[in-house]
Amino acid sequence: MSDLSVARFDPRSPGFRANPYPTYRYLRTHQPIHYRAERRDFILTRYADNREVLRNPGFGRSASSLIEPVAGTNGGLVERLVSARNESRRLMGLWLALTNPPDHTRIRRSLSRAFTQSRIDGLRAYIQAKVDASLDQAMERGEMDVIGELAYPLMLDLNCNRILGIPPGDWHPNFGQWTQSMSLLADLDITPIAYERGMLAIAGLAEFFRQWIAACRAGSRPADGLIGMLMAAGDRLSEEERLANCIMMFTVGHSSTVNLIGIALLSLLKHPAQWHLLAAEPSLIDRAIAEVLRYDSPVQGISRTAFSDVALSDRTIRRGEKVICLIGAANRDPARFPEPDRFDIGRRPNPHLSFGYGIHTCIGKNLAQLATKIVVGTVARRLPGLSLATDSPQWEESFLGHGLKTLPVVF
């Protein structure tokens, strides 16, 4: 990147999305609380500021913070789209991730029951068997796309089948397309087209889950897993909250972990000494995955809105103003991490912010870490000679959700 491009924070630029770290470094040094006048939001790149915003109850979630497409026309919008979009907007406002206390506390309690340590530990053998079966198939060919042939099928199955409780035979053929649309909807500076696609995906998922819940109630489908738990929550959740959070869980339950698995293998294979170290010392796996999360976080940022005027370092964020907490930048702050640009799988301590911080801390982090450790640990054990089939794999179009489209490897 030239000096000028380093100074430019542009989530829509493919080069920036592939490697945002020089820009983060520039902003952290020159404008750590960077005001974007055209968007009227603040971009935070220091660890301490990010953690403070995520901890401080003066900041919270606002559905509107995720659903502001860039200026443009929606001309020609047909009525069907308008009604789908209205319902989608309403449902999105009920997502756990976008609510504030006391609703947040109540909804989180119902969802958390599916993520107890014992339930997650109980998935270990299942995940191991799935990973081994995928590798058995790939080994016959000597090549594989880590995303399409391993990470995505594994996480879709884990999330839909084992967490939500929907057996594969009942999956909707649009699941893949809806995942794609939803990840762009949650992005920064989204375009009107991405916004409309996201609204349609939510409408499609709402229809699917409405029918699924009705079938469970009628006894023609099993009320297992998280959906069964949400149904059993009775009037602790409204019918709309139940539906909305099935839709949210469908997306958050697999996409970031697919991204983490891809980024983990990419980062390790780009640092062969670290890859060989892990293959020789499997007990380093916990620290290795923590380092991947710090070094190149699958969630680059999250947004908050100030509920009152709040002092942040030498600035005041006014009530109603929006801040973007750049987790990916916080994780490379030299004030918190010595030699932050060095990828070191032995790093300790490693207090990265990649699962968030404060009351919205990721509910699925144990599951995400377990699945990633099993995938990476098994690949390192069974295929230590693995190498990248390309040095510059393609990145997804979203910026906040950071991940690879494909990751071809050979062995």
Residue 331 found at the interface with ligand HEM (CB under 6 A)? no
Q: Segment contacting ligand HEM (CB under 6 A): 118-126, 144-152, 187-195, 363-371? A: 363-371
- Measured from the CB atom, is 183 or 256 closer to ligand HEM? 256
Instruction: Dump strand ranges (E) for 90-219.
Output: 143-145
Name the β-bridge partners of 143. 410
* Site for ligand HEM, residues 136 to 165, rule: CB under 6 A: 159, 163
Max CA pair span of the chain: 63
For the segment 234-273, give every residue that binds ligand HEM (CB under 6 A). 252-253, 256-257, 260
Smallest gap from Cβ 95 to ligand HEM, in A, equals 8
Query: Taking CB under 6 A as the rule, which mask of x and - marks residues 63-92 in contact with ligand HEM?
Result: ------------------------------
How far is 254 from 403, CA to CA, in rounded Å?
12
Could you say whether residue 363 binds ligand HEM (CB under 6 A)? yes
Per CB under 6 A, the segment of 24-32, 130-138, 198-206, 355-363 that binds ligand HEM is: 355-363
What is the side-by-side strand order in the sheet with 33-36? 33-36, 41-44, 322-325, 302-306, 59-60
**Binding test (CB under 6 A) with ligand HEM, winner from 96, 202, 230, 404:** 96
CB of 107 vs ligand HEM, minimal distance in Å: 8
| Bridge pairing between strands 302-306 and 59-60 | antiparallel
User: Do residues 285 and 147 lie in contact, with contact meaning Cβ atoms separated by under 8 Å?
Assistant: no
Write out the binding residues for ligand HEM, residues 292-311 only, by CB under 6 A: 298-299, 302
Single out the residue of 42, 16, 9, 47 nearest to residue 354, CA to CA. 47
Distance CA 1, CA 9 (A): 12
Q: Is 191:72 a contact under the CB 8 Å cutoff?
A: yes
- Minimum CB separation from ligand HEM for residue 49, in Å? 15
Applying CB under 6 A, does 330 fall inside the site for ligand HEM? no
Out of 108, 130, 172, 347, which residue is the one contacting ligand HEM (CB under 6 A)? Answer: 108
Return the number of the residue (84 or 293) whose C-beta is nearest ligand HEM.
Answer: 293
CA distances to 136, 261, 386, 391 from 410, in Å: 14, 16, 6, 12
Q: Which of 298, 291, 401 lies closest to 341, judged by CA?
A: 291
Residues 6+ apart with CB under 8 A from 219: none
CB 61, min distance to ligand HEM, A: 6
Rounded distance, CA 225 to CA 162, Å? 7
Which of 94, 205, 368, 375 lies at the binding interface for ligand HEM (CB under 6 A)? 368
Is the Cβ of residue 84 or residue 312 nearer to ligand HEM in the bound state?
312
| Residues engaged in binding ligand HEM (CB under 6 A) | 96-97, 108, 159, 163, 252-253, 256-257, 260, 298-299, 302, 354-356, 360, 362-364, 367-368
